[in-house]
Structure 1
Amino acid sequence: MFSERLTRPAAAAAGLLALPLLAAPASAAPVPGPVHAGNTFGWYPVAKRYEFVGPLGPQWRTRGDVRTQNGMLTLLGGRSGDVTATLDGAGHARGRWEIRWRGRQYGTAHTAYRLQTSLVPVARSGRHCGAQDLTFEDQKAGQNKAGLAINALPNLAFTTTVRPRGQSFTGDHWHTFAVEVTGKRISWFVDAHVVATETRPAALSGAPMTVRFRLQATQGERMDPARMQMDWLRYWTLRKPDTKSTAAPRPHKTTYADAC
């Protein structure tokens, strides 16, 4: 288990401190949470696991109000500005990543945050304003759907949208989101079901990637406060083959307008 440490920004919005943060403690079972892609597709044993118990460790780079709360990594968005937590280190070009996640919005009078979990290139010079991000959870706060995407240079995007099979993506309901990256394909999973698989070579960059959690604000807009929490994060290698088929519809190919 990785130790974690957080330096809380002094400028954290005072109003957010009053938000209802308390929740039931995260599970401490060897394979916590509901049935998920890792145990459904036979990925164990896990290579790296992050449990968010205790202070956040120095391997996390944070911006905005990021804290650990009852065994969960918590990002809090106020009236403006992005909030991020990015995992430092060498990253991985291939493998499997999964999170147990929930999100909540406080109010609807203004603009909603986007709650995102992505793999981003470890090398900042390779990020090109998001043009190589691989997103495996992108939910606009308050909406009962989530986007999945892989961006590729120079300005390509492969995207799809999913809706929950059971409880909604809103209202603090727990869900698991996962992505598997091999040399020939990318597969996305929601609540232990494979929902999309991309095999077109143009989508496969091969760059080492790391995890970034983000509450994305709209520049110049007043935002409705929001919260995003992760109970755990897992990483598996590709050493063990999938025990179930990863065949699924492929994403829609389009363009990514913000490449730089």
Structure 2
Amino acid sequence: MTRLRTAVATAVAVAAAALVGPHVVPVGEAAAATAASKTWDWGPIAEVGDWEQGQSTAGWQTWADGTGRVDIYYGQLAVDSGPAAFNQTATGDVVTTKTGAGHVRGRWELRVKAQQWAAARAYPMRLELVPAGTGPTACGATTVTLAKWTGFGSTTRFGIRQGASRWLSSVSLNNNNTFHLFGFELTDTTMTWFVDGQPRARLTAAEAPEAFPTAGLVPRMVLNGASGTAMTHTRLAADWIRYFTLDRAGRTVPATAPPTRSDAVSGVC
């Protein structure tokens, strides 16, 4: 009888673990299989933006020229086009950029999602790495695009711009109030873009030495409104933003196709 009771208890425990285990994820944390930092063993976090405990927007420069603002919503750093009431249209740009000197090399990862209310012109949204000190609306000499899309469109683009040249790739995603992770690894010889933990494009110094940044980079989040146009109330929010050094080699990332190059690019990041 004792053996029977033990067997039953063990079976119940195993069943409970099977039902509960895969779904127990700490608040603000992505499942291990979808974070590049965990999938590829990027090592300890050197810098972290995590607003679960009510932290402020200190350390982030904010800018808006319309109804929008930057604030903390439900433990997330968000650029919100406003207005305060839902289901009303919005106007103008909203931008937030991390202050500080930034990093010339390293690994970055952001966990973000976007929400929209009211039906008007959809906002283009961008997650970027730009040289420290870049103005809120400036492209600058270098812009690393971690992700950019418009509205809830399924095409999400990523790449890098250096001067008049741009390298760009894309992936199809559901951006309708859904968290995704966008990562970037930059070494002296390669740059690799990750979407939901998987490498999606890689550019090498042998292929394009002129593409590699030489200035310290900082994260930037952008809602790009059309001037004088009623826009859909939109909120682009980061659950967390993390930076890792290259001190830990990590797992070997398989080679992927390079982004497509175009030249004579101007006026867009």
Give the TM-score normalised by structure 1.
Answer: 0.81
Are the counterparts in 2 of residues 189 and 196 from structure 1 also a CA contact under 8 Å? yes
Q: Does 1:34 align with 2:52?
A: no
Find the counterpart in structure 1 of residue 242 from structure 2. 234
Give the match's secondary structure for 2:215: coil
In 1: Cα distance, 2:38 partner to 2:81 partner: 32
Find the partner of 2:146 among 136, 143, 149: 136
Structure 1, residues 57-97: CA drift from partner, whole Å, max 9, x if none?
43111123111122111221142111111110010000010
Are the counterparts in 1 of residues 185 and 191 from structure 2 also a CA contact under 8 Å? yes
RMSD across aligned positions (CA)? 2.1
Find the counterpart in structure 2 of residue 73 from structure 1. 77
Runs of 4+ in 1 over 3 A off after TM superposition: 26-29, 127-131
Are the counterparts in 1 of residues 70 and 79 from structure 2 also a CA contact under 8 Å? yes
Task: Give the partner amino acid of 2:121.
Answer: T
Q: How does 1:11-50 map to 2 (within 5 A)?
A: 27-28=26-27, 32-35=29-32, 36-50=35-49
The answer to which structure has the higher helix fraction is 2
Q: Does 1:217 align with 2:225?
A: yes
Find the counterpart in structure 1 of residue 259 from structure 2. 251
Find the counterpart in structure 2 of residue 16 from structure 1. none
In 2: Cα distance, 1:75 partner to 1:187 partner: 26
Are the counterparts in 1 of residues 131 and 140 from structure 2 also a CA contact under 8 Å? no
Give the match's secondary structure for 1:133: strand
Q: Which runs of 5+ in 1 are unaligned?
A: 1-25
Find the counterpart in structure 2 of residue 208 from structure 1. 216
Are the counterparts in 2 of residues 51 and 71 from structure 1 also a CA contact under 8 Å? yes
Q: Which runs of 5+ in 2 are unaligned?
A: 1-24, 83-89
Find the partner of 2:168 among 159, 166, 182: 159
Q: How does 1:107-146 map to 2 (within 5 A)?
A: 107-108=118-119, 110-124=120-134, 129-146=139-156
Aligned residues: 226
**Cα gap change, 1:122 to 1:71, in 2 (>3 Å):** same
Find the partner of 2:183 among 178, 196, 200: 178
Find the partner of 2:113 among 88, 98, 102: 102
Find the counterpart in structure 2 of residue 8 from structure 1. none
| Identity between Structure 1 and Structure 2 (%) | 29
Task: Give the partner amino acid of 2:169.
Answer: T
Give the match's secondary structure for 2:210: helix
Give the match's secondary structure for 2:142: coil
Are the counterparts in 2 of residues 103 and 227 from structure 1 also a CA contact under 8 Å? yes
